[in-house]
Amino acid sequence: MTDAGSFILFDTPERALLHPFTYTRSIAEIRSGILTIKERWELLLKEKIQILSADYLQEHYPSIPKGKKIFINAAVFPDEPVTEAITRLEDGEALLHNKMLLAFCSSRDDIHTMNNVLDFHPIHTKEYAGTVSLIRYPWDIVQLNGKAIVGDSQLLTGAGKSCVISGTNRVMGEEHIFIEEGAAVEHCILNATGGPIYIGRNATVMEGSVIRGPFAMGEGAVLKMGTTIYGATTIGPYCTAGGEIKNSVMMGYSNKAHFGYLGDAVIGEWCNLGAGTSNSNVKNSASDILMEIGNGMVNAGLKCGLMMGDYSRCAIHTSFNTATFVGIACNIFGEGLTPKHIPSFSWGYAGKYAFDKAIEHIQNWKKLKNQTITEGETGILGYLYKQLS
């Protein structure tokens, strides 16, 4: 076993397959379920974990400590069996699963960039025979969300006690509902017979909302009156949500505050969907959705909705096609259905956002939630603006 603080979640070059969400974060900071991948590992390992990512992001993370460390592939979705196998690794050993590197242990001090990881040659390898879940593509975030909510709920609430559920609510499966301190839930229908319902600290579920689990709601999040939620859905910290939402993830600080449908979708942080915005999640032919990812075509399955990167916004009544990918920091408006791919820093469907204006508008939106854009965020966005524009 390694010393405290010596677990590192590392990205691989395959992080590019998770764009637009990994433009602005490590894979380790993707939210699926109640928690991010990093938060989940920290609960399972009972230790703080550091991140090893692309160079332009790494300068904003703490430096990698010296001494013996266990490096864990950030795309691995943690559970207790794989966690136990990883913590047993000795110096120079690596854990593989079907030729894929899950983790390795090393006391070398020259592994301090993402590319250095590729240069590691283990003395001994072990094959992990169990099942491994991976977040490799954007739609995996929602396809694993139900499983993640169940697991995270057990991690977070196992030894705790839910606040009393108000008698104004209609409740089914009460034993699978957990409400944190300060949350307000009145005059709602809560059905946890198909999966747990977790309401975070100081969250608000307004009157008339109908929720079917599995469902997770982060700290300070708000569901507007009459919201309809189908599992498996996550409304991340300080998000505002309304309308009809199914099998979707809003990572944090984003808004879908009005009527409209969001299904099988992933919305990054600091996004805003205008009133009446909806997305399609199934092709009219009811056939599988083939996506061009990396250097080839990948089958996303039958359902895939909107994939929207951080800091992007759309006008009222925007209609998104099935499996539409939106980059970061876009201001989307225009007539008719949107294009299937909207590049980062887009203005409308075809224009380019001026960088200074993009930063100004992000700052304006952040002020609405009592936040401010940091120098680190501005630096990352500046780097990406040069690379992607």
Each residue's pLDDT expressed in tens, for the chain with a length of 389 residues: 444 448 999 999 999 999 999 999 999 999 999 999 999 999 999 999 999 999 999 989 998 888 999 999 999 999 999 999 999 999 999 999 999 999 999 998 888 888 888 888 899 999 999 999 999 999 999 999 999 999 999 999 987 899 999 999 999 999 999 999 999 999 999 999 999 999 999 999 999 999 999 999 999 999 999 999 998 999 999 999 999 999 999 999 999 999 999 999 999 999 999 999 999 999 999 999 999 887 789 999 999 999 999 999 999 999 999 999 999 999 999 988 899 999 999 999 989 999 999 999 999 999 999 999 999 999 999 999 999 87
**Closest listed residue to residue 89, CA positions, set 172, 200, 6:** 6
The rounded distance, in Å, linking the Cα atoms of 50 and 82 is 19
DSSP category for residue 165: P
pLDDT in tens, 323-338: 999 999 999 999 888 9
Distance separating alpha carbons of residues 19 and 58, to the nearest angstrom: 17
Start-to-end C-alpha separation, the chain: 46
CATH topology (fold) of 140-388: UDP N-Acetylglucosamine Acyltransferase; domain 1 (2.160.10)
pLDDT of residue 34: 98
Q: What is the pLDDT of residue 4?
A: 43
Boundaries of CATH 3.90.550.10 in the chain?
Answer: 7-134
- pLDDT tens-digit series, residues 29-61: 999 999 999 999 999 999 999 999 999 999 899
Q: How many helices (H) and strands (E) does the chain have?
A: 8, 37
Start-end ranges of CATH 2.160.10.10 in the chain? 140-388
Distance CA 210, CA 77 (A): 30
Q: If you write DSSP's letter for every residue of 313-339 in order, what string do you get?
A: EE-TT-EEPTT-EE-SS-EE--SSSPP
Q: How far apart are CA 358 and CA 311, in angstroms?
A: 9
At the second CATH level, the architecture of 7-134 is: Alpha-Beta Complex (3.90)
Distance CA 354, CA 328 (A): 13
What integer pLDDT is reported at residue 2 of this predicted model? 45
160: CB partners within 8 A, 6+ apart: 178
